[in-house]
């Protein structure tokens, strides 16, 4: 069976200082082996992304790809489910989930952290950050 389109071909990348969709990863450049460290991922760090019923970030998925391994591991999946919708209609609930997360994980190997996010109307976006062991 022929694969018509690979998902990776549809994931967009850009300079986060100029593009509002990038899930920017913030954490230490070097971490201690086997010790939990904090990772923050946020969208709209430089240019705010809308958060309305019609236009919002739906989720972030976070992965770690250890150096020398064949596959990445999923660290977490974070859903943003409130975007103003209520029984009165769009943008009437006053409740909006902000599209930013903080989590922790540990690793015994250096590697690459990869964040992928979905805007409900502008598609998939990714950002990656290399971490070393200190
Ligand atoms: Fe968008």
Instruction: Kindly give the distance from the C-alpha atom of residue 64 to the centroid of ligand 1, in angstroms, as a whole number.
Output: 25
Ligand 1 centroid to residue 72 C-alpha, Å: 26
Among 109, 124, 117, 28, CA closest to 64: 109
Distance 4 CA to ligand 1 centre (A): 25
Cα distances from 124 to residues 13, 23, 75, 131, in angstroms, run 9, 10, 18, 23
Q: Note the pLDDT of residue 87.
A: 98
Mean pLDDT of the region 67-89: 98
Q: What is the mean pLDDT of residues 93-108?
A: 98
Tell me, rounded to whole angstroms, the distance of Cα 127 from its chain centroid.
7
Which residues carry out catalysis?
19-21, 49, 55, 119, 122
Tokens 């409900």 — which residue?
120
What's the whole-number mean pLDDT along residues 32-53?
A: 96
User: In this prediction, what percent of the chain has a pLDDT beyond 70?
Assistant: 100
Which pTM was predicted? 0.94
Q: Rounded distance, CA 75 to CA 114, Å?
A: 10
Measure 117 CA to ligand 1 centroid, in angstroms.
Answer: 10
Can you give the pLDDT at residue 1? 76
């Amino acid at each position: 069976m022929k694969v018509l389109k690979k998902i990776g071909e549809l994931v967009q990348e850009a300079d986060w200082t100029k593009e509002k969709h990038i899930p920017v990863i913030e954490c230490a450049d070097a971490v201690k082996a086997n010790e939990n460290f904090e990772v923050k991922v946020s969208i709209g760090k430089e240019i705010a992304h809308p958060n309305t019923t019609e236009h919002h970030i739906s989720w972030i998925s976070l992965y770690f790809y250890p150096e020398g391994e064949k596959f990445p591991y999923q660290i977490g999946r974070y859903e943003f489910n409130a975007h103003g919708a209520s029984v009165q209609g769009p943008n009437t609930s006053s409740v909006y989930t902000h599209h930013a997360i903080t989590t922790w994980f540990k690793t015994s190997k250096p590697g690459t952290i990869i964040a992928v996010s979905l805007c409900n109307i502008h598609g998939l976006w990714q950002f990656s950050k290399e971490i070393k062991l200190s």
